Amino acid sequence: MNQFEVGWRDDGGEHQRPLADAVSVAFEAGFPVRGFPSYRGQRHFPGLYWSATTGGHVGFESWLERDHAMLLDFTPEVTGLLSQPFWLFWEDERGKRVSHAPDYFARFEDGRGLVVDCRPLERIDARSAVKFEATRAACASAGWGYRVVGEVDAVRMVNVRWLAGYRHPRHGAAEGMVERLLALFSVPSPLVGQASLAGDPIAVLPVVFHLLWQGRLGADLSIPLTDTTLVSRVEGR
């Protein structure tokens, strides 16, 4: 761990410390250490994703990064999320100083940290592979999880994007409706048919989708969501 240093930004300014001195830093509460360039003709599509987890925007540099930000936001156990959370510094075997800013840092409700890099697996070149392996070693020594993630299953991603349209808390604000729907779906039931028992589907379905987003209702997202998708209450959520 002593070979790595970390640089990050927060309300107190910019900091740089040995990794061993930064393992307890709440990176998810800080600021991105770099921005995303935007210029005519660029191949990637940077932007901002509004996160229901944080109540603020999370940056992304490509649609792949956006999808993974959305998946982290969709994970009920995630309580904090930041893009470009820190710089990691180290020296290679030739003594040359190397730096890398991972794509995301996520905090889980049990306190665990997860560092994520997004890259289509077929586009990981030798230089990136070396950086990712160094980052993996740094995260292991700090007690954080680390993932290099590529393309997501297309059907699952279509479903999550649909549910993300109902991620805002306003969709779960109808007094009494949430409790009624949780009771109605206490056993696996067809999505639209069961939701209709609670009222006009135009008013009720957004609440159902919000509860699916929150993980309080569950469904098999490996197949397309349809009117007859079986939905059930998730115990403990």
- 196 near 209, Cβ under 8 Å? no
60-106 pLDDT per residue, tens: 999 999 999 999 999 999 999 999 999 999 998 888 999 999 999 99
Two tokens at 66?
């956006």
Q: Which amino acid is at 104?
A: Y
DSSP codes, 93-113: TTS-EEEE--SEEEEETTS-E
pLDDT > 70 in the chain, percent: 96
pLDDT value of residue 95? 87
CB atoms within 10 A of CB 103: 23
pLDDT tens track for 195-212: 999 999 999 999 999 999
104-108 vs 113-118, strand pairing mode? antiparallel
Rounded CA-CA distance 164/70 in Å is 8
What are 133-192's pLDDT values in tens digits?
999 999 999 999 999 999 999 999 999 999 999 999 999 988 799 999 999 999 999 999
Give 186's contacts (C-beta < 8 A, 6+ positions apart): 232, 233
Q: What is the pLDDT of residue 42?
A: 62
Tokens in use for 59?
């940056």
Question: Does pLDDT of 1 surpass 60?
Answer: no
CA atoms within 13 A on the CB side of 86: 30
> pLDDT tier at 43 (50, 70, 90 boundaries)?
low
Distance CA 95, CA 98 (A): 9
Residue environment code for 12-51, b if the CB has 16+ CB neighbours within 10 A, otherwise e: eeeeeeebeebeebebbebebbeebeeeeeeeeebbebeb
Could you tell me how many helices (H) and strands (E) the chain has, helices first? 6, 13
